[in-house]
Amino acid sequence: MHQPLSGLRVLTIEQDGAGPYGTQLLASLGADVIKIENPSTGGDSGRCAGPYFLGEYDSEFFQTFNRGKRSMALDLKDRGDRRIFERLLSTADACANNLRGDLPAELKVDYAHLGRIKPDIVCAHLSAYGREGERAHWPGYDYLMQAEAGLMAMTGEPDAPPTRFGMSMIDYMGGTMMALGLVSAVLGAKRSGRGCDVDVSLYDVALHQLSYPATWYLNEGKCAERQERSAHPSVAPSQLFRTADGWIFVMCQAPKFWGAFCQAIEREDLLSNPAYADMAARRMNRDKLQAELDAFLSTRTTAEWMTRLGGVAPAAPVHSMSAALGASQARSRIETVSHPDKPGGLKMVRDPVRINGQNAPTCRAPKLGEDTREILDEMLNDKPEDRAAE
């Protein structure tokens, strides 16, 4: 398989989910991602994230974010290990981390320090609040960003407490943004011969995810309010509706889909109702339309409605996790990765990027320090003149 990032080497000092998520995307596209892990502290803290463990210093949580990487055991505060790290750095294109904002300078993994060793190195930093300002030393996590950036206030039912997303989406978006910034900066460094610092903060990512409601507020002074049934703020019907056995999400985002929806459910009468004549009318009469569609859609099961709506009007069943992962559409997206401590292999969801119609080959995440000897041997056999000729 063609791997577009083959030949790219990234050293990473990372833990938990955000940073590892981003560098795993790079690994799945062919980059040689080497985790620098301190053996005296147990390496990446995600190795000890329960409740499902896979031998010593390994867990299903860790495996989720670190497939396809290599692990090298080094303590960057140890003088000898630091020399090894700096020798390894000379073979790398980038050094990534998701340390607290004040720590890259302290650990000397920013461009001010690493650029002296390798002028074209890219130093990518993913922190909670950035490396500058009064919050640089603050620890931070995804849920805190959802709270402070206003995302929790926008999520959930109107009469419910503020609600977080079901997953740590700010972590994942933060990792993705860091990966994009890193690859872009490496491309620039290849042209200019000079590297740089790339900074992404979870707080900035969370604010950025406010998206068009932020633009509306900044320009019109209008706060997006939570809508009943997770409805879209300006389009109707675009929300949850009851069925005989559960829920269905319908999204008539364009006039043609409103027509297709009404025809598919055999309710052409709705098309001639002045209360639903256009998008503005449907939005103004959202409550009335919800009550009418609820009563009608609850006469049949979700599966029956999906048989009519699938591929005709945008609609989706509301699945539990078991139903989602058991659906026929999902089965080809699940793979089994061999693991020494998991007889029969570890089932995982594939990375989403396909190149020329193929998913990237993958392997399990490494044990702590598993690749140290291999990488040291590579360094011993590596000749500077060979690298210069590449």
What pLDDT band is residue 30 in, cutting at 50, 70 and 90?
A: very high
What's the confidence (pLDDT) of residue 120?
98
Residue 362 has pLDDT above 90, yes or no: no
In angstroms, rounded to a whole number, what is the distance separating the alpha carbons of residues 100 and 308?
51
Tens-digit pLDDT profile for residues 290-321: 999 999 999 999 999 999 999 999 999 999 99
Mean pLDDT of 34-48: 97
Distances in whole angstroms, Cα of residue 252 to Cα of each of 212, 231, 314, 372? 19, 11, 7, 54
Residue 1 has pLDDT above 80, yes or no: no
In angstroms, rounded to a whole number, what is the distance separating the alpha carbons of residues 149 and 375?
42
Tens-digit pLDDT profile for residues 278-293: 999 999 999 999 999 9
Terminal Cα distance for the chain, rounded = 22
Contacts of 104 (CB under 8 A, 6+ apart): 97, 110, 123, 125, 131
Q: Which letter does DSSP use for residue 51 in this model?
A: S
* Bridge partners, residue 71, by sequence: 35
Residue 382 has pLDDT above 90, yes or no: no
Mean pLDDT of the chain: 95
Residue 127 has pLDDT above 90, yes or no: yes
Residue 384 has pLDDT above 60, yes or no: no
Note the Cα 275 to chain centre separation in Å.
Answer: 41
Q: Residue 255 corresponds to which tokens in the numbers above? A: 């006039």
Q: Residue 241 corresponds to which tokens in the numbers above? A: 């509706």
| DSSP letter string, 152-181 | GGGSS-TTSPP---SS-HHHHHHHHHHHHH
What pLDDT band is residue 383 in, cutting at 50, 70 and 90?
A: low
What is the percent of the chain with per-residue pLDDT over 90, rounded to a whole number?
Answer: 95
Tens-digit pLDDT profile for residues 222-248: 999 899 999 999 999 999 999 999 999
Mean pLDDT of 332-352: 95
Residue 91 has pLDDT above 50, yes or no: yes
3-class secondary-structure state, position 1: coil
Mean pLDDT of 50-72: 97
Residue 95 has pLDDT above 70, yes or no: yes
Mean pLDDT of 61-86: 98
Mean pLDDT of 96-119: 98
Residue 121 has pLDDT above 60, yes or no: yes
**In this structure, what are the phi and psi dihedrals at residue 387, rounded to the nearest 5 degrees?**
-65, -40
This prediction has a pTM of 0.93
Mean pLDDT of 80-109: 98
In angstroms, rounded to a whole number, what is the distance separating the alpha carbons of residues 251 and 249?
7
Residue 193 has pLDDT above 80, yes or no: yes
| DSSP letter string, 302-362 | HHHHHHHHTTTS-EEE---HHHHHHSHHHHTTEEEE--TTSTT-EEEEPPS-EETTEEPP-
Pairing of strands 358-359, 354-355: antiparallel
Annotated catalytic residue 137: no
In angstroms, rounded to a whole number, what is the distance separating the alpha carbons of residues 6 and 32?
7
Residue 386 has pLDDT above 70, yes or no: no
Tens-digit pLDDT profile for residues 130-142: 999 999 999 999 9
What pLDDT band is residue 359 in, cutting at 50, 70 and 90?
A: confident
Residue 388 has pLDDT above 80, yes or no: no
**Matching residue, tokens 């609600």:** 163
Catalytic residue among 125, 232, 319, 339: 232
What pLDDT band is residue 389 in, cutting at 50, 70 and 90?
A: very low
In angstroms, rounded to a whole number, what is the distance separating the alpha carbons of residues 208 and 150?
11
Q: Are 218 and 207 in contact (CB under 8 A)?
A: no
> Which helix (H) or strand (E) element contains residue 19?
helix 18-28
What pLDDT band is residue 390 in, cutting at 50, 70 and 90?
A: very low
Work out whether the CA dihedral 364, 368, 374, 380 comes out positive or negative. positive
Work out whether the CA dihedral 76, 80, 85, 86 comes out positive or negative. positive
Work out whether the CA dihedral 105, 106, 108, 109 comes out positive or negative. negative
